[in-house]
Copies of this chain bind each other. A is one copy, B any other.
Amino acid sequence: MKSWYSKDFKVGVLGGGQLGRMLMQEAVNYDIKLCMMDKDPSAPCSRFSHEFTNNDILDYEAVLEFGKDKDVITVEIENVNIEAYEELERQGKKVFPQPSVLKTVRDKGVQKNFFKENNLPTPPYYLVENKAEISKYEQEFPFMQKMRVGGYDGRGVQALKTLSDLDKAFDAPSVLEKFVDFEKEISVIVARNENGEISHFPVVECQFNPEVNLVEFLFSPAQISEAIEEDAISIARRTIEALGMVGLLAVEMFVTKDGRVLINEIAPRPHNSGHHTIECNVTSQYEQHLRAILNLPLGSTKMLRPGVMVNLLGEPGYEGNVKYEGLEDAMKIPGVKAHIYGKAQTKPYRKMGHVTATAPLLQEAVDKARKVQEIVKVKA
A324 to B327, CA, bound (A): 41
Interface residues on A, range: 35 or more
CB closest residue in chain B, given A294: B328
CB A137 to nearest CB in B, in angstroms, measures 47
CB closest residue in chain B, given A287: B337
Tell whether A341 is near chain B: CB-to-CB under 8 Å.
Answer: yes
Q: Which of A23-31, A139-147, A221-229, A255-263 contacts B (4 or more CB under 8 A)?
A: A23-31
A378 to B178, CA, bound (A): 58
Residues in B with CB closer than 8 Å to A29 are: 25, 337-340
CB closest residue in chain B, given A340: B31
A47 to B3, CA, bound (A): 20
- Pair B299/A331 contact, Cβ less than 8 Å: yes
Chain A 287-311, CB-CB to B under 8 Å as 1, else 0, gives 0000100001101101011000000
Known: A297-B331, A300-B334, A331-B297. A28 touches B3 (CB 8 A): no
Tell whether A156 is near chain B: CB-to-CB under 8 Å.
Answer: no
Chain A 305-347, CB-CB to B under 8 Å as 1, else 0, gives 1000000000000000101100110011011011111101000
CB A32 to nearest CB in B, in angstroms, measures 9
Identical chains bound together, number: 2
**New contact pairs (20) apart from A5-B340, A7-B321, A296-B328, CB-CB < 8 Å:** A3-B324, A5-B327, A7-B344, A24-B28, A24-B48, A25-B25, A25-B28, A28-B48, A28-B342, A30-B338, A31-B353, A47-B49, A48-B48, A282-B358, A291-B331, A297-B328, A299-B331, A299-B334, A300-B335, A304-B304
A-B CB contact pairs (8 Å), 26 listed: A3-B323, A3-B324, A5-B324, A5-B327, A5-B340, A24-B28, A24-B48, A25-B25, A28-B48, A28-B342, A29-B339, A30-B338, A30-B340, A31-B340, A31-B342, A47-B49, A47-B51, A48-B48, A282-B335, A291-B331, A296-B331, A297-B331, A299-B334, A302-B335, A304-B304, A304-B305
